[in-house]
Structure 1
Amino acid sequence: MRASGRVDRRGLLKITGGSVAALGLTAAGCGTGGGSADGTVTIRYAWWGADDRAKRINKSIELFEKKHPKIKVKTDFQDYVAFWEKFQTQAAGGNPPDVFQCAIAFLRKYDKRGVLLDLKQQVDAGNLKMTGFRSGLEKVGEVDGKLLGVPVGSNTMSLVIDEKVFEKAGVTPKQGWTWDQYFAALKKIRDTQHRAGDSGYFGVMYLYDLYLRQQGKAFFTEKGLGFDEADLREWWADGYAAVRSGLVADPKKVVQIAPKSAVSDGMAASEFTWDNFSVRYDSEGDSTYGLAPVPTTDGEKTGQYLSSLMLSASARTKYPQQVAQFIDFMVHDPEVGKIMGYDRGILATEAQYKAFRPSDPVNKAIAAYEEKTAAAGVFGPVTPHPAGADTVEAAFLRIGTDLGVGKTKTADAVRQFFSEAKSALAG
């Protein structure tokens, strides 16, 4: 059975984890999926994404079922918000999908509740290979000695720029440029091109994480937050000052044009986002857009790491071997790589990465950006997020937006964030 659904990107950015925070259960030995008299088993696979992703995944599953005729895959997908709402209901009822799309923000949360299968036993049994991954990605799904997720793609934070505006302003971003140089560039763009230089960097949690990592800190530690109120007060105060000076676009106007980007709208000349999200700008705008390096504190460290969508498995599945074989096929098979392309980020394994070589300029640029960033030696390990991280991320975006549009003051926003974060991380 093939389900259908549509992605809500605005919801994806704003609701990370909202409704799943209350989930609490302990996994038992009962399972999902189903079997038949001839030994054929059916496993359930669920994910979030748009219709195009569903078409690609369904085509990949057809290949898998030809190679494994005794394993059938029943699929289900929705947009991001609906996916997690449904997952909460299924998991609470003891009937989660056998295998499902996941991300680092959810690993500790659902492991704590006994939802996730430790896949290390399947690696040891030879049903799942954790070799041949790019840039250390095989470690991304490891939490507290367990293998809770297997990467299917990678992405990293980047600075998307309107190349025509930067060129007219005489600004050329280079690897290792500093935050001082970045803000000088925004000022030059404002003064010569009469538009904001940035769309609103201070509300991007993952950018703030990089900034903290450049200073030897991090947004999250394994148990909580890796920064204090003084750190955030400085970040948000500087960001709000940049809005008042015109270096950053007016958040009220940015909200009004959403979900369209302020960069593709022509309101701002740059925007921090994940590199694989850059495909949106060509379709939304009428300029030319490129990927520039993340600014640094010391001219060297960007704080970057490779993040990833993953495939995780249910601790309740009756068919751990078949689930592991399915995951292995989806992340290693070269034909799957050709079918999926960069839909979920740059392909995670070398076999799939080599099998798919993009022909369009945008995806070529994304691949080139990750290759150049890797060659610069700036990638570091990502800290596994603590349980409740998804709710904290949503709070950071919401409160940062309220600050930007003038609904709250910096000191109040900081106090509110830490109060909500403390509650979320204590659950």
Structure 2
Amino acid sequence: MRAGRNGRRLRTAAAALALGLGLLAAGCGGSGSGGDGTVTLRYSWWGDASRAKLINKTVALFEKKHPGITVKTDFLEYEDFWKKFATQSAGGGAPDVFQNSAAFLREYGAKNVLLDLTPQVKARHLGTDGFRAGLEKAGEVDGKLLAVPVGGNTFALIYNVAEFEKAGVAPEKGWTWDQYHAAVEKISKAGGIKGAAANAGVMYLYDLVLRQQDKAFYTADGELGFTRDDLRTWWNDNYADVEDGTLVPQKKADQVAPKSALAAGLAASEFSWDNFIVRWSAETDAELALAPLPTTDGKRTGQYISSLMLSGYARTQHPEEVAQFIDFMVHDPQVGKIMGYNRGVLATERQAAAHEPEGPDELVAEYERQIADLVEPMTPQPAGTSVTEAAFLRIWGDVAHGTTSVAEGVDQFFSEAEQALRS
């Protein structure tokens, strides 16, 4: 079976990377307190300038309500954020508070990088009540509270409505990969825009494809849950579609990064987290919509709810203030109004009730209501996931560029992944 092969194209330009390196050099050394007793926290996240604008508004609101705490902020796109964070945490200079996800909890928890927030909950500096759909447990690992969700989201097909209408396809529950591929090929053959981007290196997408086959990217024991033959089939099928012009060439996708191929008008569809429609809708004039993943059997998508979270640094000098900051960001209704669904459907009932979704936010809310019966439990992601995810994306990029064969890429990935998961 050939399955979808799209996702995020989250690489920054050289100028952005240079800026990130500058921030790294300036940011090392931890937080501190001013001579007047003011506490300074450092807060970092991944995302684009639109997310930064919203987050900085929430930080200003926090500082207004907590005049004894100053918050310094910085951000990068996803891949560069984690490269920077790996260097910071290894050198003892990670930010006091930072955006996190399930992929990194066990890895950085095992390295004692993440602050256990449990004592702060007991001290009533951080509340864990009022979360939606059991999300209050999303950041727990081995009895420790290592993160608190700010939003919950799931994967989706984000697509150009006009292009799919011209192809005569209405993406909906129960549609199959064959139907999806027929639409992609029809759009591409019409000339101009391609039906989809070539993003077969997105770990989360491949995980869902595997789950539809009763497998998963990782087993419950923290090992790879698929074989070399499985990956050869996945990458061979996707590379063949790049070669025959069905998918966006990797070189063109790289040229528009960090924009997605969909937002840049190169592709008519892309698989990603549902909340990305908020960002991408702001980057294109085309009408975008959300649809469930195509299926193998007409029923199972393999989808699950994941979370963007906030974590504290284990070596912060100000654990109480970190907890107060996180509490404010996940519970304050005004923060919910400001952020909307930029990081997914708001995690707490208070914030969700304060925000009236409209436009792309309304699409996300309606989509998650529609696919609620498709959602399954998420497979825990083991320590080493960050290395494995980066290797999967990087090596597929080499394959898509034609600088590495599929066979060589598969062997290289398994070698790097197995080493990462053993260490």
* TM-score clears 0.5: yes
Choose from 213, 216, 234 the match for 1:215: 213
Q: 1:202 to 1:34 in 2, by over 3 A?
A: closer
8 A contact 2:200–2:206 mirrored in 1:
yes
Shift of 1:388: 2.1
Quick one: structure 1 residues 325 and 254, their matched pair in 2 at CA, closer, same or farther if it must change by over 3 Å?
closer
Any residues of structure 2 matched to 1:4-403 within 5 Å, and which? 9-11=10-12, 33-34=31-32, 41-69=39-67, 71-80=68-77, 83-84=81-82, 87-191=85-189, 196-221=194-219, 223-359=222-358, 361-374=359-372, 377-403=373-399
Give per-residue Cα distances to partners, 1:43-91, cap 9 Å, x unaligned.
Answer: 443334444444433432343345445x413323132466545544543
Does the 8 Å CA contact 1:190/1:197 hold for their aligned counterparts?
Answer: yes
Residue aligning to 1:25: none
TM-superposition CA deviations, 1:366-424 (whole Å, max 9, x none): 222222222xx112232332222112112111221222232222222111111121222
Contact 1:143 1:384 in 2 (8 A): no
Cα distance change on mapping 1:297 and 1:116 into 2, 3 Å: same
Contact 2:52 2:75 in 1 (8 A): no
- The DSSP-based 3-state class of the residue aligned with 1:78 is strand
Letter in 2 for 1:355: A
Relative to the length of structure 2, the TM-score reads: 0.84
- What SS does structure 2 have at the residue aligned with 1:309? strand
Task: Report the RMSD for the aligned CA atoms in angstroms.
Answer: 3.1
For residue 203 of structure 1, give the secondary structure of its aligned residue in structure 2.
Answer: coil
- Cα shift at 1:301: 1.7
Q: Which whole-Å CA distance do the structure 2 matches of 1:308 and 1:339 have between them?
A: 18
Pick closer, same or farther for the CA change 1:184–1:94 going to 2, 3 Å.
closer
Looking at structure 2, the residues matched to 279 and 138 of structure 1 have their Cα atoms a distance apart, in angstroms, of 24
Change (3 A) 1:91 1:253: closer
**Following the alignment from structure 1 to structure 2, what is the Cα–Cα distance between the partners of residues 251 and 317?**
41
SS at match of 1:202: coil
Q: Which one is further off, 326-335 or 274-283?
A: 274-283
How far apart, in 2, do the equivalents of 1:325 and 1:194 lie?
A: 51
Aligned residues: 402
1:164 to 1:45, Cα distance in 2 relative to 1, 3 A: closer
Give the AA of the match of 1:406: G
Contact 1:45 1:73 in 2 (8 A): no
Q: Distance in 2 between matches of 1:86 and 1:240?
A: 31
In the alignment, which residue of structure 2 is the partner of 1:5?
none
User: CA separation in 1, counterparts of 2:260 and 2:211?
Assistant: 27
Contact 1:229 1:418 (C-alpha < 8 Å) held by counterparts: yes
Which whole-Å CA distance do the structure 1 matches of 2:265 and 2:65 have between them? 49
- 2-structure distance, mates of 1:250, 1:275: 24
Q: Give yes or no for contact 2:228–2:411 (8 Å, CA) kept in 1.
A: yes
Worse-matched range after superposition: 316-325 or 174-183: 316-325
Amino acid of the residue matched to residue 333 of structure 1? D
**Aligned pair in 2 of structure 1 residues 185, 313: CA closer, same or farther (>3 Å)?**
same
Task: Provide structure 2 residue ranges, at least 5 long, that are not aligned to the other structure.
Answer: 1-8, 21-28
Give the aligned residue type for 2:143. Answer: G
Specify the code of the residue in structure 1 equivalent to 2:70.
Answer: V
Assess if the C-alpha contact under 8 Å between 2:50 and 2:279 holds in 1: no
Segment of structure 1 superposing worse, 171-180 or 135-144: 135-144
SS at match of 1:153: strand
Write the letter of the residue equivalent to 1:230: D
| 1:47–1:404 CA distance, 2 compared to 1 (3 A) | closer
Shift of 1:331: 0.2
Which deviates the most, 171-180 or 400-409?
Answer: 400-409
User: Aligned to 1:110, what secondary structure does the other structure show?
Assistant: helix
CA spacing shift, 1:97–1:265, aligned 2, 3 Å: closer
Retained in 1: the 8 A contact 2:59–2:71? no
Cα 1:94–1:204, aligned 2, differ >3 Å: closer, same or farther? closer
**Residues 258 and 65 (structure 1), Cα distance of their counterparts in 2 relative to 1, 3 Å cut:** closer
CA–CA separation in structure 2 for the residues paired with 1:57 and 1:307: 20
- Relative to 1, partners in 2 of residues 1:424 and 1:324: Cα closer, same or farther, differing over 3 Å? same
Query: Is the Cα contact below 8 Å between 1:77 and 1:83 reproduced in 2?
Result: no
Q: Is the 8 A contact 1:49 1:77 kept in 2?
A: no
Any unmatched runs of 5+ in structure 1? 1-7, 20-30
Q: Name the aligned partner's letter for residue 12 of structure 2.
A: G
Task: Report which stretch shifted further, 235-244 or 331-340.
Answer: 235-244
* Contact map agreement 1:116 1:314 (CA 8 A) in 2: yes
Counterparts of 1:228 and 1:165, CA distance in 2: 36
Change over 3 Å in CA distance of 1:324–1:225 after alignment to 2: same
Q: Which amino acid aligns with 1:263?
A: L
Q: For residue 169 of structure 2, what is the amino acid of its counterpart?
A: V
What residue in structure 2 maps to residue 418 of structure 1?
414
Contact 2:188 2:247 survives alignment (8 Å):
no
Q: Deviations over 1:234-286 (max 9, x none)?
A: 21122223334443333344344444443345443221122222234444444
Distance 1:51 1:259 in 2: 11
SS at match of 1:311: strand
Take 1:49 and 1:341, find their aligned partners in 2: how far apart are those partners?
15
